[in-house]
Amino acid sequence: MADHKTNKDQRYDRQLRLWGDHGQEALENAHVCLVNAAASGTEILKNLVLPGIGAFTIVDGHRVSGEDVGNNFFLSSDSVGKNRAQATTELLQELNTDVSGNFVEENPDRLLDNDPEFFHRFSLVIAVQLEESTCLRLGSVLWNAAVPFLVCRTYGLVGYMRLVVREHTVVESHPDNALEDLRLDQPFPELTNHITSYDLDNMEKKDHSHTPWVIIVAKYLQKWCREHDFQLPRNYKEKEAFRQLLREGIRKNENGTPEEEENFDEAIKNVNTALNPSKVCVSVEDLFNAEQCENITSQSPAFWVMVRAVRDFVQAEGRGSLPVRGTIPDMIADSDKFISLQNVYRERALQDAAAVSRHVESHLQAVGKVCIWGTLHMWNAAFLRVVHCRALVEEYGVDTVHKDEITSCMDNPDSEMVLYLMLRSVDCFYQQHSRYPGVYNYQVEDDIVRLKLCVHSLLQEYGLTVNVKDDYVHEFCRYGAAEPHTVAAFMGGAAAQEAIKLITHQFVPFNNTFIYNAMAQTSATFQL
Amino acid sequence: MFLAGILGPLRKELADSLSSCRVLVVGAGGIGCELLKNLVLTGFKNIEVIDLDTIDVSNLNRQFLFQKNHVGKSKAQVAKESVLRFCPSANITAYHDSVMNPDYNVEFFRNFQLVMNALDNRAARNHVNRMCLAADIPLIESGTAGYLGQVTVIKKGMTECYECQPKPTQKTFPGCTIRNTPSEPIHCIVWAKYLFNQLFGEEDADQEVSPDTADPEAAWNPEETAARASASDQDGDIKRVSTKDWARSTGYDPVKLFNKLFKDDIMYLLTMDKLWKKRKAPVPLDWHWTYGLKDQQVLSVGGYSQLFQRSVETLRAQLKEKGDSAELVWDKDDPPAMDFVTAAANLRMHIFSMNMKSRFDVKSMAGNIIPAIATTNAVIAGLIVLEALKILNSDFQQCRTIFLNKQPNPRKKLLVPCALDRPNPNCYVCASKPEVTVKLCVHKTIVQTLQDKILKEKFGMVAPDVQIEDGKGTILISSEEGETEANNGKFLSDFGIRNGSRLQADDFLQDYTLLVNVLHCEELPRDVEFEVVGDAPEKAPPPSVPEEEKSITNGNKDSAQPSTSTKAEDDDILIVDSDEEPSSSTTDVSMETGSLKRKLQDAETGETASKRKRLDQQPAAEDDDDDDDIIALD
């Protein structure tokens, strides 16, 4: 068992450094469903099987064709004629024996007719190269079941992704600009006591130069506040004056020249960090104001019970502040001083966390549920986020379409938005002709005319007064609905990355449409 | 017709040219595996792949052509076999070899229409860059690091070459910091890696680990000498033999090693009391340990002492098994070697009053680990092939440098394509007559330093020949064995080299000639042997790097300095330009940071913004104005 663990640690070492053990655990508990094992689909699954998702199930009613073998790495010429779900499952499974691979030889439409609840069991459903009508049906089944749905498509030199999730909660958003949580603007009592235990004026020289900068800044802030009407330095000028105060605190040798005290240098450098006000950030404030936070019921997901408990904490024990994070940055200090400072923050964080769990418990009790929070990861309240996507029906509805987004993007006729409109137009073509334009070379010319009509009727239907250049119509006919492998490979990487975000609840996924233009190597995201 | 799928979007002539052209893939790691797959499925038929590395368990989370039973085998060979299993019609040649081997000369490179790099280190990238310039073959360069990635196209005379923009030299640590006065965990980790080599590996005079008595800061008074002499008594006899010989003479006794390294040497350091006037003095350790340790956590001193003992015993056994004159090579993925460095570094951190680090963190720093995932490699390899198609279509104007962001930036772009820059006329590689000026002291610099540190390490030559332009054509260095070794220990001034002298350095294999102007200078800063005039100064580190970034981007294997491993280690390094370079005091190397100016052609607006910031690290304030430059305030 221990051996198996080491083995895994080694195998996954390079990714554990990105999403940690708990992210890996979430992956290993996930069951992902892929609808259609076309090249884009198997590329996505490959990138999920390698990092070790728990299980996958492929749903596909197609038989393997020669064309499939030509662009799909997970099919070989002896798979021709077999069911595509089965053939690809076998080869994908080989990539990682820790992953359980399953397949269903069934057309998704039929599955939706006979057993729509089949799809409820998955952590995530990914559909590729799925025709529009089926996609909309599947989308509404999953929307109602609150199962995240990722639509992915490779069409010639264009890639498309659409995330359909009612509510996705992000526990660790990994913001690029995460600030330290030091509370120096409003120190909690234990921190104040700890600061008071230092007497900078009557210290050995070595202790003086090994006092953590947090203590130094806190000490001088006390002094500053006494002299400035209990106001912290607010603007650049005052902060500069405060830095000067710190500079003056550096010990001088017998000749009056300042000693080198790196901890003071660090303190001066960190004045801004230290003065960062400890307030609840806007994105978390939004969570507090959400309806799901207000009304906790027995059906409330764990995330919202947690958010509510944090809100209660802020209003009660926290006196307006979030629970203390409990981690401090590395700084110049000797081990003893650093560790005791670290402990002050850590203890407080544990106390705050305990207070939050009491709130959780009381909410659960109120709705008649037992506490099931055993292994809650040490999360950080400031990094909680929530993402709401629009449903596909809203995007497709004539009254609910995001017309403004489309029209304003189309001010530039070469915006990636035009590719979206073209994709919608080829779907319209498919509806009328039961095939995509340009799939047979001899029909390309005729199809150009037909596709143009589709573009017009689409624009008319939605009342869009935008101009779609003829070039794009020609281009899309030339694509012949092909799925070039290298574009599929790109989409496989990009979609799998979003899937990992969704499964681990780390990082914020895109919302809600992603378009890739492989010819120009550009991409864009839209809210549709 | 299997190709029907791509014949539509790709014109027929292009599809035909794919099946007839020959391409070279350099590297069969993370990007290389994806690339081979994409190439065969796009219709490329004749592919050669070269990689000197063998397969490791930690590759399996992304290098999908390899499986557990392949561990230890040649990457190039297994990659070829795996691809052929799926696509038997491809014609693939695999070389389990270094691309820097002279067999792969300019003629070899001329066999190809296109070369694609999927490399992990700067030395090989420099070399392939030069080979492709010499052979005038287009090159696609690429790299990934965690969620970030980049692809670019290099074409002689049309675009910047890989070396057009100077890359900042990696941070190195002065010997006395490592040996006498470590102040950050990385100093102890570098020390522990040096120690590994001193004890078990190849000894290197630049990797001393014992106290440095020549530390200028420690210049002591005569009256203190007596105390020092008595303190150094016990290692007086050690001084005369190498650390390795001494260790061998004790039979690699862990307790004796421990006492010398963590007690006696530290006591000796304490006698250099000037060092400790302002610093907190180290505290020697006694050999003792207690039972009960857990892996992957920060252990107690006792735990690390025990780990030290255990790992020394294991390494001793490994050494014995290999025979008398055997040497071990440090590898971060080799558990005993990693245990040894974790233990030794942590014990030293404790001695110098630093907070100890977990094995996981030590591994990151010691191995310069770049996190690597399948998804980023898949995206980048997809982009490479699309650039390849443009090149084969002779559509260089459409080629781009493409950056992959961690998430869509404030302009909602995941990908940032940039027009390719023109060659830098002052490039010391691709200019028509490359020339540099090097500042050094001709009385203190020996020929060996010129060869190893300046020409090979700094200017990326593999086997330089050097001639002095003194009218007589004096040969200073010959790449032929046995011709000029006698010169190695002599000073440059011994050959009449003085201020203004010109040296012509040639690398026959790279078909590359560099003219070196000598600028004599008596006083260079401490620990600096030479400076290249006009080299870009190291970019100031960004003011604040989020905590998690510190641990994921701290370095890459290009950091030749702290890395002592000679074997290719890991793959897929971001080649240029990351603003996420570590500023943390606990990290040792900077990512290769190019201060590339960049002409961004925005598809929507056609605007050109120069000096675009690579990563939008700032809060995602909706940013609709043209200027993406962000000034980060501390």
pLDDT, position B22: 97
Mutate to test the interface with B, among A419, A486, A497, A501 (most CBs of B within 10 A): A486
**Is A30 in contact with A503 (CB distance < 8 Å)?**
yes
Residue B30 assigned ligand-binding role: yes
Q: Would B575 be classed as within a structural domain?
A: no
What pLDDT does residue A1 have?
A: 47
Residue ranges of domains in chain A: 7-167+483-526, 189-275, 282-387, 394-479
pLDDT band per the 50, 70, 90 thresholds, residue B553 = very low
Among A7-16, A235-244, B319-328, where is mean pLDDT lowest?
B319-328
Give the pLDDT of residue A3. Answer: 63
A210 to chain B: closest CA residue = B280
Q: Do A521 and B413 touch (CB under 8 A)?
A: no
Residue B279 lies in a domain: yes
Contact by Cβ (8 Å): A489, A4: no
**Mean pLDDT, residues A154-179 taken together:** 90
**B601 in A contact zone (CB under 8 Å):** no
Q: Which residues of A touch B350 (CB under 8 A)?
A: 335
Determine, for residues B61 and A494 on separate chains, whether the beta-carbon distance falls below 8 Å. no
The CATH number of whichever domain residue B484 belongs to comes to 3.10.290.20
**Chain A residues within 8 A of B353 when measuring between CB atoms:** 210, 334-335
Summarised one tens digit per residue, pLDDT across range B85-130 is 888 889 999 999 999 999 999 999 999 999 999 998 889 999 999 9
Q: Is B120 annotated as a binding residue?
A: yes
Calculate mean pLDDT across residues B445-472.
91
Query: How many Å lie between the alpha carbon of A247 and the closest alpha carbon of chain B?
Result: 17
Beta carbons of B10 and A484 less than 8 Å apart: yes
Query: Residue B206, Cβ neighbours under 10 Å: how many?
Result: 9
Name the β-bridge partners of B514: B505
Of the residues B367, B382, B397, the one at which a domain ends: B367
Residue A423 confidence class, pLDDT cut points 50, 70, 90: very high
Q: What is the share, in percent, of chain B residues with pLDDT greater than 70? A: 75
DSSP state of B455: I
Q: Which residues of B fall within a CB distance of 8 Å from A327?
A: 547
Tokens of residue B622, six digits: 């909706």
Give me the number of domains chain B comprises. Answer: 3
The reply to whether B68 and B8 lie within a common domain is: yes
Q: Mean pLDDT across the stretch A273-280?
A: 84
Task: Identify the burial level of B222 via C-beta atoms within 10 angstroms of its C-beta, where 0-12 means exposed, 13-18 middle and 19 or more buried.
Answer: exposed
Using one digit for the tens of pLDDT, what is the confidence trace for A110-138? 999 999 999 999 999 999 999 999 999 99
User: Nearest to residue B561, comparing CAs of B280, B228, B174, B285?
Assistant: B174
The CATH number of A7-167+483-526 is which of 3.40.50.720, 3.40.718.10, 3.80.30.20, 3.40.50.450?
3.40.50.720
* B502, β-bridge pairs: B517
- Residue that wins the pLDDT comparison between A44 and B410: A44
Q: Which residues of B touch A206 (CB under 8 A)?
A: 279-280
B430 in a labelled binding site: yes
Nearest-CB residue to B371 (from A14, A273, A508): A14
pLDDT recorded at residue A389: 96
* Residues of chain A contacting B6 with CB distance shorter than 8 Å: 70-71, 482, 484-485
Q: Which long-range contacts (CB under 8 A, 24 or more apart) does A247-251 make?
A: A249/A200, A249/A216, A249/A220, A251/A205, A251/A208, A251/A209
Q: What is the pLDDT of residue B542?
A: 35
Rounded to an integer, the average pLDDT of B18-42 is: 95
* Residue at which a domain ends, from B308, B334, B367: B367
What pLDDT score does B419 carry? 93
Instruction: Using alpha carbons only, give the angle A195, A197, A201 rounded to the nearest 5 degrees.
Output: 90
- B585–A327 CB contact, under 8 Å: no
Structure confidence by residue, pLDDT tens digits, A512-527: 999 999 989 999 999 9
Chain B CA closest to residue A517: B415
pLDDT of residue B611: 33
Q: Are B99 and B50 in contact (CB under 8 A)?
A: yes
Q: Please check whether residues B201 and B346 belong to one and the same domain.
A: yes
Same domain as B328, residue B180: yes
Residue A338 near residue A263 (C-beta atoms within 8 A): no
Residue B28 in domain? yes
pLDDT in the model for residue B221: 52
- Taking residues A408-420, report their average pLDDT: 96
Residues B363 and B378 in one domain: no
Residue A67: pLDDT above 60?
yes
* Share above pLDDT 70 across residues of chain A, in percent, rounded to a whole number: 97
Q: A415 and B41 in contact by Cβ < 8 A?
A: no
Q: How high is the pLDDT of residue B219?
A: 60
The answer to whether residue B586 scores a pLDDT higher than 50 is no
- B417 vs A43, A338, A520: nearest CB: A520
The residue-averaged pLDDT of A224-230 equals 88
Is pLDDT above 80 for B466? yes
Note whether residue B274 is domain-resident: yes
> Are residue B87 and residue B188 in the same domain, yes or no?
no
Q: Higher model confidence: residue B310 or residue B568?
A: B310
Q: Is the pLDDT of residue B403 over 80?
A: yes
The answer, yes or no, to whether residue B224 has pLDDT greater than 60, is no
Last residue of a domain, one of B533, B553, B575: B533
Res A328: pLDDT:
87
B150 & B293 share domain: no
Distance CA B66, CA B29 (A): 10
Cβ A74–B544 below 8 Å, yes or no? no
Please indicate, yes or no, whether residues B33 and B138 belong to a single structural domain of this protein.
yes
Which string of DSSP letters, residue by residue, matches B402-467?
EEE-SS--TTS-SEEEEEPPPPPTT-TTTSSS-EEEEEE-TTT-BHHHIIIIIIIIIT--SSEEEE
Is B123 annotated in some ligand binding site?
yes
The answer to the question of residue B617 being in a domain is: no
Q: What is the mean pLDDT of residues A85-95?
A: 95
Query: B284 with B297: CB under 8 angstroms?
Result: no
B29 is in an annotated binding site: yes
pLDDT reading at A23 higher than 50? yes
Q: Is the pLDDT of residue B218 over 70?
A: no
Same domain for B104 and B209, yes or no, is no
The predicted structure's pLDDT at residue A216: 94
Q: What is the model's pLDDT at position A198?
A: 93
Task: Point out the catalytic residue in the list B33, B132, B176, B188.
Answer: B176
- In tens, the pLDDT along A479-509 reads 999 999 999 999 999 999 999 999 999 999 9
Residues B363 and B376 placed together within one structural domain of the fold: no
Tell me the whole-structure pTM to 2 decimals.
0.83
A174 to chain B: nearest residue by CA? B548
Whether B348 has a binding-site annotation, put simply, is no
Contact B145, B54 (CB under 8 A): no
pLDDT value, residue A84:
97
Residue A6: predicted pLDDT: 74
Which pLDDT score is estimated for B170?
A: 63
Q: Is B176 a catalytic residue?
A: yes
Number of CB atoms found within 10 A of residue A435's CB: 13
For residue A35, give the nearest of A144, A137, A146, A114 by alpha carbon.
Answer: A137
pLDDT at position A174: 83
Q: Say if residue A101's pLDDT is above 70.
A: yes
Does residue A441 have a cis peptide bond before it, meaning omega lies within 30 degrees of 0?
A: no
Q: Do B196 and B337 fall within a single domain?
A: yes
Q: What single-letter DSSP state applies at residue A508?
A: P
Give Cα A519 distance to the centre of its chain. 27
On whether residue B348 sits in a domain, the answer given is: yes
* Cross-chain residue pair B61–A66, CB shorter than 8 Å: no
- Nearest-by-Cβ selection for B353 from A15, A335, A524: A335
pLDDT at residue B616 greater than cutoff 60: no
**Domain membership of residue B493 as a residue range:** 435-533
Decide: B417 and B402 in contact? Cβ < 8 Å: yes
Q: What is the CATH number of the domain that holds B33?
A: 3.40.50.720
What average pLDDT does range A340-349 have in this prediction? 91
Instruction: For CA atoms B324, B330, B332, B338, give the dihedral sign.
Output: positive
The pLDDT of residue A310 is above 80: yes
Nearest to B179 by CA among B166, B197, B169, B192: B192
Please report, in angstroms and rounded to a whole number, the separation of the first and last CA atoms in chain A. Answer: 48
B430 within some domain: no
CATH number, position B251: 1.10.10.520
* Predicted complex ipTM: 0.88
Mean pLDDT, residues B391-401: 91
One domain for residues B508 and B464: yes
When scoring B39, B296, B604 by the number of chain A Cβ atoms within 10 A, the one with the most, hence best to mutate, is B604
Together in a domain, B393 and B485: no
| Token pair of A276 as six digits | 């960062």
Q: What is the pLDDT of residue B564?
A: 32
Asked if residue B587 has pLDDT above 80, the reply is no
pLDDT band at B448 (very low <50, low <70, confident <90, very high): very high
Of B235, B239, B231, B233, the closest CA to residue B271 belongs to B231
Residue A160: half-sphere exposure toward Cβ, Cα within 13 Å = 22
* Average pLDDT taken over every residue of chain A: 91
